[in-house]
Chain A
Amino acid sequence: MNKNKSSVFSHLIYFIKEGFSGVFFHGFMSVAAITVIAACLLVTTTFLLVAYNIDMQIEDLQSSNEIVVYIDETLTREQAMALKSGITALDNVADAIFVTREEFFENFLDSLGEDTYVLDELREDNPMRDSFRVVMEDVALHAETLKALTELQGIADSNSDVELSERLVQLRSVVNTVSLTLLVLLGTVSLFVISNTVKLALHARAEEIGVMKMVGATNSFIRAPFVVEGIILGVAASVFVFAAQWLVYNYLGAQLSQGLPILTMVPFEEFRYRLAIILFAAGVVLGMSGSVLTIKRYMKV
């Protein structure tokens, strides 16, 4: 029959209308499906966000190109300052800046901000040590440089978080494995749930599908509303998950930064668009593949 441009538009409207009416017609089933998919997406994205935060933390630690080394307090100041030539002679060291313990203490007090009068009496009995701020040429060689520095005579300690960084790398690989496993597992669960809902929809409309086939509707035309229904389920779930992550993440971030000030979480605002896009794509892909697979299986021409 006469197929023109306006009919393409009216088809689109028809598919979307049918898709939504499918979702509402199977109200309870749809709500159940959206809930399960949302739960799966929530767990998966939570792990992704944990992994992301660990990544950022590692990057932060590893990207610092400075190491502070503390000098054995039994050395005189002259002896301490004389260490500079030994340090700068090492590979990968660009510069070494001597910081006296008095300067260090002042910096420390400054960094604490106001209420530091309680520490004033410590000024006389300074607990700090003289130190060098060592600037590296290549941050990738952090571990090697640190090793060389600590092997020097007169160097007592360093501020380097190599251990923390290594532990985070280990943690990251565990989290990544768990995330991947969950992604596959919960993705399958979501697909299954979408597939079930669409199967129900196909059943409810078997009569109409029969008539459509009989009068010569193409397969893609018959399938479209069910695919739309699947996509609506997936996207609805992803919208809920985005909102939930926003609330939960900020809440956790606030709690964590009070309890453990060393661990800073990446602010939600920094990745919200990326998260939204990922969730939306996941919703569309889950919904679409869930329904297409089901239709292919249960609706032979």
Chain B
Amino acid sequence: MIKFQNVCKTYENGVEALKDVSFTIADGEFVFVVGPSGSGKSTLVKLLCAELKPTDGEVTVGEYDIGTMPRRHVPYLRREIGVVFQDFRLIADRTVYENVAFVMRAVGASTRSIRKRVPYVLELVGIDHKADRMPDELSGGEQQRVAVARALVNNPDFILADEPTGNLDPMRSLELMTLLSEINARGTTVVVVTHAHEIVNAFKKRVITLEDGVVVSDRRGGYFGPGRIRHEQE
């Protein structure tokens, strides 16, 4: 479970990125987080993976309280969260297979379990036929699949994606979102930060809308952007 309770985040320069934000995401949910640029979405993501601590209020991820947890627990929190970034962040001089195997080794998996798990995950995201390629030999969509495979491989409870479709064309974006919702169907909680209105509208999932650091809407259905008429759904 993810829980934000009256969370405020003020950066050192005085910018109030989040102001009294509260919501709960239950296990197994699929949630879009939307909002205009600068509304605090990435700040929210950074709080979830303990890159930042809340200035005020409480952020809880599973059993971890982000505000009070000791530093040495941070790696173990991060093992429960698979993160997918807009810019993929693959290691350029390692093959697709190694990019994924690397994160298993990084959390102490044995060579044997790596050999078993990595091909399975690569197949799951449909990139197994390019396991020996280097990242720069792949298209953007393929690279993003590798990034998803990497986020998945340690079997996290949560998948957190910050604008994962930012570098993809609409077709690839739709494919990726479909993949994420399939993963969600297997029981993983998925949180996707995005600007892609069409996709959000197409999926009919829960949407949390931020504006200027405040949650202005939290409901199931389509994108409720600024200046648009906000319809109630159901």
Q: Chain A residues in contact with chain B, CB under 8 A?
A: 1-4, 6-7, 10-11, 14, 207-208, 210-219, 221-222, 301
Contacts and interface: CB of A to CB of B under 8 A. Distances in A.
B106 interface: yes
Nearest to A219: B75
Contact of B110 (A6, A207, A214): A6
B180 interface: no
Contacts of B77: 216
B49 A7 contact: no
B150 interface: yes
Nearest to B78: A216
Given A211-B91, A216-B75, A216-B154, A7 B104 contact: no
Given A1-B154, A1-B155, A301-B74, A214 B108 contact: no
Q: How large is the interface on B (under 10, 10 to 19, 20 to 34, 35 or more residues)?
A: 20 to 34
Interface of B: 49, 71-72, 74-80, 82-83, 89, 91-92, 102-113, 150, 154-155
A1 B104 contact: yes
Contact of A216 (B76, B92, B111, B113): B76
Contacts of A207: 89, 91-92
Nearest to B155: A1
Name, among A7, A214, A221, the residue most crowded by chain B CB atoms within 10 Å (CB to CB).
A214
7 contacts: A1-B155, A6-B111, A10-B110, A10-B111, A211-B89, A216-B75, A218-B72
Contacts of A212: 102-103, 106
A81 to B, nearest CB: 86
A217 B75 contact: yes
Name, among A208, A214, A216, A219, the residue most crowded by chain B CB atoms within 10 Å (CB to CB).
A216
Contacts of A211: 89, 91, 102-103, 106
B12 to A, nearest CB: 16
Contacts of B80: 216
A1 B108 contact: yes
Contacts of B76: 216
B107 A217 contact: yes
Nearest to B150: A215
Nearest to A10: B111
A215 B106 contact: yes
Contact of B49 (A2, A214, A217, A219): A214
Given A3-B109, A14-B105, 11 more contacts: A1-B109, A1-B113, A1-B155, A3-B108, A7-B110, A207-B89, A214-B83, A215-B82, A215-B107, A215-B150, A216-B74
